[in-house]
Amino acid sequence: MLKVVTVPDKILREKTTPLKKEEFNSPKLKKIIEEMKETMQAENGIGLSANQVGFNKSFFIAFFNKKFYVFFNPEIVKESRKKIISQEGCLSIPGVIAFLPRSKNIILKAKKIDGQEIEMKLFGLPAIICQHEIDHLNGILITDKAKKIIKAKKEDEISL
């Protein structure tokens, strides 16, 4: 299992480095992904970016629609003008729940582990998870965008 980096660790504020062609599909990358899944599950999370576990690389894992996803070099290519106020926790900021505006729908472009490009239309919670994790990859935390922040009770925490 990997250790989740928490604030004020400076890696959380750095923009991550995109994966290069030769880094895709490597045994090392596959091992990191498996360790990230294990860590995210153990921490009761539904999303985890590479920099949250100390890797300065542009990818994240997420769990939605009863399935694990891994997105490499992700970017939001389109987002709805319609915003919702999302209630989010974060494994890197334990004990905090932030309320912040997010786009209701997004179109995400990323690469799969083999380097093949994909594009997905995401709605609701999957869109929120991806926006949260892409913010991480750009050095942005939920507290930077929050309209309101409250202390979380341990039983209320499901973190991204």
Give the active site residue among 23, 119, 133, 155: 133
CATH topology of domain 10-156: Peptide Deformylase (3.90.45)
Cα–Cα distance for residue pair 144/125, rounded to 1 Å:
20
At residue 154 the predicted structure's pLDDT band, cuts being 50, 70 and 90, is low
Q: Are 74 and 142 in contact (CB under 8 A)?
A: no
Q: Which residue has the higher pLDDT, 71 or 160?
A: 71
Output the pLDDT for position 152.
Answer: 79
At residue 41 the predicted structure's pLDDT band, cuts being 50, 70 and 90, is very high
Output the pLDDT for position 13.
Answer: 97
Cα–Cα distance for residue pair 14/8, rounded to 1 Å:
12
Q: What is the mean pLDDT of the chain?
A: 94
At residue 155 the predicted structure's pLDDT band, cuts being 50, 70 and 90, is low
Q: Say whether 119 is catalytic.
A: no
